[in-house]
Amino acid sequence: MTATEKALELARIAGGAAQEKKADSIVAMDVSDHIYITDIFLVCSASNAAQINAIRDEVERRMLDAGAKTIRREGEREGRWVLMDYG
């Protein structure tokens, strides 16, 4: 099985949002053959908590514009990482 077209499009949107906010090392991985609950992991890095927050906010805004609502977010309190689940 490969990632759905919808999942690929949402990964492009999220990756573009992260890139606009100067995220580093943006990588999208098709995990649909290995994990049945998701199609794609999108991973990126940032230099500091403020940049992490800016990336998170832009990704969330663009995904909402595309009709994808965040199901769950984790890691925000630590200020070092954020996981955003779009189902």
Instruction: Give the residue among 62, 82, 49, 50 at the shortest CA–CA distance from 11.
Output: 62
Instruction: Give the residue among 20, 26, 23, 10 at the shortest CA–CA distance from 68.
Output: 10
Residue 2 pLDDT more than 90?
no
Residue 79 pLDDT more than 90?
no
Instruction: Determine the topology of domain 5-85 in CATH.
Output: Beta Polymerase; domain 2 (3.30.460)
Tokens of 82: 């954020």
DSSP character for 80? Answer: S
pLDDT in tens, 15-73: 999 999 999 999 999 999 998 889 999 999 999 999 999 999 999 999 999 999 999 99
Rg over CA atoms, the chain: 12
Report d(CA 72, CA 66) in Å as an integer: 17
DSSP reduced 3-state for 42? strand
Which pLDDT does position 75 carry in this prediction?
92
pTM recorded for the entire structure: 0.90
Which pLDDT does position 55 carry in this prediction?
97
The domains of the chain are located at 5-85
